[in-house]
Amino acid sequence: MTEPLRLLALCAAALLLAGVSLVTGFRAAGADGVTPLPQALAFLPWLLVPGAAGLGLAALARWRGGLVWAVVALALTVWFVRPYGPATTGAHGRVVARLDVLTSNVEFGAGTDALITTIRRERPDVVFVQECDFGCADALATRVPAASYPYRDVVRLDGSLGSAILSRFPLRPAGRIDGAMAMPGSVAVVAGREVRLQLAHPMPPLPGGVSAWRRELGRIRDFAASVRAEPAVVAGDFNASQDHAAFRAVLDAGGLHDSARLAGSSRTYSWPADRTTPLRTQIDHVLVSDDFSVRSARFLNLAATDHRALLVALELRESG
């Protein structure tokens, strides 16, 4: 290799490894940073690609320091790709109830028809719906029988702002988490026990909107901390993955568990589902307290929405 080509390979390797190191550095520090770091953290496993390219270029340039740098950067990335949190909940008592929970972002209501078809097929016990516009709310009211879901907490707003909780179990309102998009909460009575149900839908970390995203996830974290000793299910489009410090703070504050992680699907993507890009991530979650065990978690493709729905089979365990 000529000297100019060697220098070009060395410079390219340094640029790639610097980018990988910046993102993994913030991940290691437990911080999300500012744009473009929160957006890059959502796709952290894909850092293995530029990391491997940096390793190859460093080898091509015969840059020993670069080889060491690349190996360390790749090792850190592999370490953080591991699932976050314990593999089981603290649930160990007798099963008192089984319930299936479905969460779906229907993208401005466009995926409502597919959602209703899924509800009819899967028959979940509790349904969380995000981006449920006026048309979505009307369709749920007229096409999902009240006999099947007699208890509902629907926030009628247009576009991405509306949300809904449908339940086979008795509900009573329990307030909302403040946010630009509706995040209603209810208390369900399941097998004689009160279970807090909370829909999550914070703003996405768009450039210029990271502060709002962090602030609203912080409110979800505060809610989780407030119900730490209670049976709770927090579900929805969190606009955050396990690689975001703001999302991990929600888990840690409430002692919650990500059901997909418990079911062995912590890296199964949920967004974007309407494009063929390889850059996909899991931002739709069902979080559960230690009162629950998880039997399964399935990500379902729905037409006309950029999110996959998540269907989780839960077991409510006897306390104590």
Q: What is the pLDDT of residues 137-155, one digit of tens each?
A: 999 999 999 999 999 999 9
Q: Which residues pair with 235 in a beta bridge?
A: 199, 286
Residue 90: its pLDDT value, please?
83
Distance, in Å, from the CA atom of 285 to the CA atom of 162, rounded to the nearest integer, reads: 18
Residue 65: its pLDDT value, please?
97
Distance, in Å, from the CA atom of 199 to the CA atom of 208, rounded to the nearest integer, reads: 25
Residue 109: its pLDDT value, please?
98
Exposure b/e, 73-105, CB count within 10 A at least 16 = b: bbebbeebbeeebeeebebeeeeebebbbbbbb
Query: What is the four-CA torsion angle of 281, 291, 289, 99, rounded to 10 degrees?
Result: 50
Token digits for 39?
A: 């957006």
Only one residue has tokens 């980018």, namely 19
Token digits for 304?
A: 């006309």
Q: Which residues contact 72 (CB under 8 A, 6 or more apart)?
A: none
Distance, in Å, from the CA atom of 84 to the CA atom of 81, rounded to the nearest integer, reads: 8
Q: What is the pLDDT of residues 52-66, one digit of tens each?
A: 999 999 999 999 999
Q: What is the pLDDT along the chain (320 residues), one digit of tens a residue?
A: 698 899 999 999 999 999 999 999 999 999 999 999 999 999 999 999 999 999 999 999 999 999 999 999 999 999 999 999 999 998 888 999 999 999 999 999 999 999 999 999 999 999 999 999 999 999 999 999 999 999 999 999 999 999 999 999 999 999 899 999 999 999 999 999 999 999 999 999 999 999 999 999 999 999 999 999 999 999 999 999 999 999 999 999 999 999 999 999 999 999 999 999 999 999 999 999 999 999 999 999 999 999 999 999 999 999 76
- Which class for 268: exposed (0-12), middle (13-18), buried (19 or more C-beta within 10 A)? middle
Let me know the angle formed at the C-alpha of 308 by 123 and 258, rounded to the nearest 5 degrees: 80
Task: State whether residue 271 is helix, strand or coil.
Answer: strand
Distance, in Å, from the CA atom of 233 to the CA atom of 126, rounded to the nearest integer, reads: 10
Domains of the chain and any CATH numbers: 3-81 (no CATH), 95-317 (3.60.10.10)
Residue 320: its pLDDT value, please?
61
Exposure b/e, 272-286, CB count within 10 A at least 16 = b: bbbeeeeebbbbbbb
Reported pTM = 0.97
Token digits for 57?
A: 């270029």
Distance, in Å, from the CA atom of 297 to the CA atom of 71, rounded to the nearest integer, reads: 34
Yes or no: say if 103 and 131 are a contact pair by the CB < 8 Å rule.
Answer: no
